[in-house]
């Protein structure tokens, strides 16, 4: 099963992708997480990506596409995967299609998590991420048991630099310009599914499981 998560930054793609990955036993592939790991490890790719990410801009397609295609080839992706944060542009979607076509495969579901812009700012300013394991929380909607300490690994929680209000506005306009057209792209292919992302995360998950034919 190959699934793409679509939606604005902060719509809840990562939250849902982690739950789907666990339920269906397929890996969660987040380009944002991969890029942040590169920054943390001081790689050349990380240094290049950081200049774009800090401004709320997209990292150039050529840096991201090969990263994802290499990831598919790993053994844990043989039964499928969930892509979170990729594709984010039409050229990325076309590159993905070409790479899959070359091996006789295609995406099964593109799930769009719909959340209006006015909710997004609240979601992102309250999001906290673990510096050690990357787990994501929200100070109001999904708090940790102990303030500022990750439930999973005990790591410290931070507000991502690109979740600061001045960057969130940029990310939203980049989303509308460059990523939103993917909704129509996958609609035309007949694989688009829409879910209401404004309800409780458990209810969003239930709607997704229904789509995936649980």
Positions marked active-site = 13, 88, 127, 160, 171
| Element of type H or E holding 195 | strand 192-196
Please, what is the Cα angle at 81 between 213 and 199, to 5 degrees?
55
Does the protein bind ligand AMP through residue 85 (CB under 6 A)?
Answer: yes
Stretch that binds ligand AMP, among 55-63, 108-116, 145-153, 206-214 (CB under 6 A): 55-63
DSSP state, 142? B
* Site membership for ligand ADP, residue 134 (CB under 6 A): no
Angle at 88 (CA atoms; ends 87, 90), nearest 5 degrees = 80
Residue 110 touching ligand AMP (CB under 6 A): no
Among 2, 3, 6, 9, binds ligand ADP (CB under 6 A): 9
> Residue 75 CB, nearest distance to ligand ADP (Å)?
25
Judged on CB neighbours under 10 Å (0-12, 13-18, 19+), 22 is exposed
Identify the residue among 81, 86, 109, 137 touching ligand ADP (CB under 6 A): 137
Distance CA 188, CA 179 (A): 15
Interacting residue ranges for ligand ADP, rule: CB under 6 A: 7, 9-15, 123, 126-127, 136-138, 141-142, 197, 200-201, 204
């Amino acid at each position: 099963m190959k699934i793409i998560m679509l939606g604005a930054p902060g719509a809840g793609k990562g939250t849902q992708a982690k739950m789907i990955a666990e339920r269906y036993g397929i890996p969660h592939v987040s380009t944002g997480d991969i890029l942040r790991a590169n920054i943390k490890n001081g790689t050349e790719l990380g240094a290049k990506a950081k200049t774009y990410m800090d401004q709320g801009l997209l990292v150039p397609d050529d840096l991201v596409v090969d990263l994802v295609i290499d990831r598919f080839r790993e053994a844990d992706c043989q039964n499928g995967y969930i892509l979170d944060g990729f594709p984010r542009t039409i050229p990325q979607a076309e590159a993905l299609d070409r790479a899959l076509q070359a091996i006789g495969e295609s995406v099964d579901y593109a799930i769009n998590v719909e959340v209006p812009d006015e909710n997004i700012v609240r979601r992102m300013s309250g999001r906290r991420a673990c510096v050690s394991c990357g787990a994501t929380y929200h100070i109001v909607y999904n708090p940790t048991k102990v303030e500022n300490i990750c439930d999973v690994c005990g790591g410290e929680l931070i507000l991502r630099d690109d979740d600061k209000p001045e960057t969130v506005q940029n990310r939203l306009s980049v989303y509308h310009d460059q990523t939103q057209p993917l909704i129509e792209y996958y609609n035309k292919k007949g694989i688009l599914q829409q879910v209401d992302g404004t309800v409780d995360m458990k209810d969003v998950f239930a709607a997704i499981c229904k789509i995936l034919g649980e």
